[in-house]
Amino acid sequence: MDIKEIFENLDYGTAPEDAKQAQNWLDEQGRKFGHFINGEFTKPSKLFTSNNPANGNELAKISNGTKQDVNIAVKAANEAFPKWSALSGFERAKYLYAIARLIQKNARLFAVLETLDNGKPIRESRDADIPLTIRHFYHHAGWAQHLTKEFPEQVPYGVCGQIIPWNFPLLMLAWKIAPALAAGNCVVLKPAEYTPLTALLFAQICVAAGLPKGVVNIVTGDGTTGACIVEHDDIDKIAFTGSTKVGKIIRKATAGTGKGLSLELGGKSPFIVFEDADIDSAIEGVVDAIWFNQGEVCCAGSRLLVQESIEQKFLKKLKVRMDKLRVGSPLDKSIDIGAIVDIAQVKNIQSLLEKGKEAGGNFYESKGKLPNQGHYIKPTLISNVSPSHPLVQEEIFGPILVAMSFRNPDEAIALANNSIFGLAASVWSENLNLALDIVPRLKAGVIWVNCATQFDASVGFGGYKQSGFGREGGAEGMSAYLKPAFEKKLKPQILEKSQSAKKTEASPISTIDKTAKMFIGGKQVRGDSGYSLDVKNTSGQNIAQVCAGNRKDIRNAVEAARKGLSWGDKTAHLRAQIIYYLAENLDYRKDEFATRISQSTGASATKAKREVELSIE
């Protein structure tokens, strides 16, 4: 057996992420959830289940929102709007910063919960979804402070009804809520029926950040709940991300109502590879474009267009790369492709594949076995098809790639634009002049050159044609939550300077983050992990938070200690002076130290003070 065969037959094992923290959180909530309305959770009712797509196990029971639930949520949002919109941008920014930091401190919990509920690999939720979510809240906190300068004569809509999909549950929530709040709107949001859990955890973050009641309301439920939001007379704007089919229904329902509307819908994005492209890089780009998040991405590069001269070579290399993709438990950190969100989506993909097989084409599935339980589909490549083939024209929303060839740039553009969709595109060429000539001729909202699926909160995202309209992110995304002031005048809500100051003093987030930092290398530093630990007193109450150190923090501390070995070279007199200085400062703050010891240990004030005095001695 040669070295290549040895490596091919190695069993690399698994690297599972511990789900205990997320499971404990679900247990603490009783695994039953009501709606989050006016700053509180309602009593659970009309329950349906949220399941783990990796194994089919029930995670929690969720309330199915009724028209009455939506009415209560909209009323709470309307009552909160005058005060929220009247706050200065600086005041609103403080809340957005606080939310961002709290998500950051609970990033691991969010990541694991997202993977359990959605089925996406933990690497993606941990390294992409949650960091981008945090980035959106930080970014829009900045926008809140610049609104009057950047958007003069613009005002918030009022109450925004927001409906988000199941493929990026928490990230889509951030795309919707962050700009809406920054602009001064209040929201009623409905998460997807399949993936409501991180939205409900986010509701607790809103409470912890001290967000005023009614500013954010989360009503869970199925499509009928979403319809109640769309049709509500007291909602001023609808923002929807989802299928083109539902988007058309929403546009029809809102036509003539005067409501603002933004739609981010389906896609069938072309991935164009020219003969001079770096083939190996383009292969990796294809993997990111179509098999990221199991292909459950609206802007997935699901149509591969390869120049005829390199088609066979490219597809051969792509098949080799496909065979190395690992499909399995999403909590395994070495997995590339996780579980499809629900059995209904699996059946939908399989139905489309059967339809495609009837129309012809070459089908290639990656090697390797699928898990014995859960909802999984192998990465699939379909080639030798015509532009009119059903799988070329229809959005599959799964790990299915369709490949065609082209002879020249004009034919590539014609094939790329031959779609009812126009969300995104990716162009691969070492000739930058060629790429820049192609880009303006593509009918797509977002176009990447020599990369794919790159996102940032500062860049607007959205499509053309049946991929919707409006943008999310950046200045364009902010403008989607504002309208000309003359359309509807806000009720006068002028805060006097003294009132504003009084409100700020009472705010629980006047200091955004009170986590005690570590002391390494002669200075205070924030922990590498970004996570925090609660410090509890003897009664189990949280009295503080400290950084959760990891191996890198220990390494930094050890390196700093090694650099500090010169302490032993100092004169005895100098060392004595420094120690005496420490004692002086400890004596000066002994009451503060005694109070903290008493809080932490339950010791009497007298005993705690005596302990400090002994330390000083």
Active-site position among 160, 298, 299, 547 = 298
Active-site position among 264, 296, 311, 472 = 264
And the tokens for 335?
């997995």
Residue 547 a catalytic site member: no
And the tokens for 109?
């919990």
- Say if residues 169 and 179 touch (Cβ distance below 8 Å): no
- Say if residues 273 and 310 touch (Cβ distance below 8 Å): yes
CA–CA distance from 15 to each of 18, 202, 328, 432 (Å)?
A: 10, 28, 12, 41
And the tokens for 533?
């630990």
Q: Is 569 exposed, middle or buried (0-12, 13-18, 19+ CB in 10 A)?
A: exposed
And the tokens for 220?
């869970």
And the tokens for 574?
């100098």
- Say if residues 430 and 412 touch (Cβ distance below 8 Å): no
CA–CA distance from 308 to each of 273, 290, 343, 586 (Å)?
A: 10, 21, 38, 77
And the tokens for 108?
């691991």
3-state secondary structure at position 12: coil
Residue 264 a catalytic site member: yes
Q: How many Å apart are CA 177 and CA 36, to the nearest integer? A: 14
- Say if residues 563 and 521 touch (Cβ distance below 8 Å): yes
What are the b/e assignments for 148-175, b being 16+ CB within 10 Å?
Answer: eeebeebbbbbbbbbbbbbbbbbbbbbb
Q: Any idea what DSSP says for residue 128?
A: I
Question: Quick one: residue 465, left, alpha or beta (phi over 0 = left, psi -120 to 50 = alpha)?
Answer: left
Q: How many Å apart are CA 301 and CA 396, to the nearest integer? A: 11
| Contacts of the segment 77-81: beta carbons below 8 A, 24+ positions apart | 77/159, 77/186, 77/187, 77/188, 77/214, 77/215, 77/217, 78/158, 78/159, 78/186, 78/234, 79/214, 80/38, 80/186, 80/212, 80/213, 80/214, 80/215, 81/156, 81/158, 81/159, 81/185, 81/186, 81/214
CA–CA distance from 466 to each of 150, 265, 290, 298 (Å)?
A: 30, 7, 20, 12
Q: At what angle do helices 197-208 and 169-183 cross, to 10 degrees?
A: 40
Identity of residue 334: S
Beta-carbon count within 10 A of 19 CB: 16
Q: Could you tell me the maximum CA-CA distance found in the chain, to the nearest angstrom?
A: 90
3-state secondary structure at position 432: helix
Residue 575, φ and ψ in degrees, nearest 5: -60, -40
Catalytic residues: 264, 298
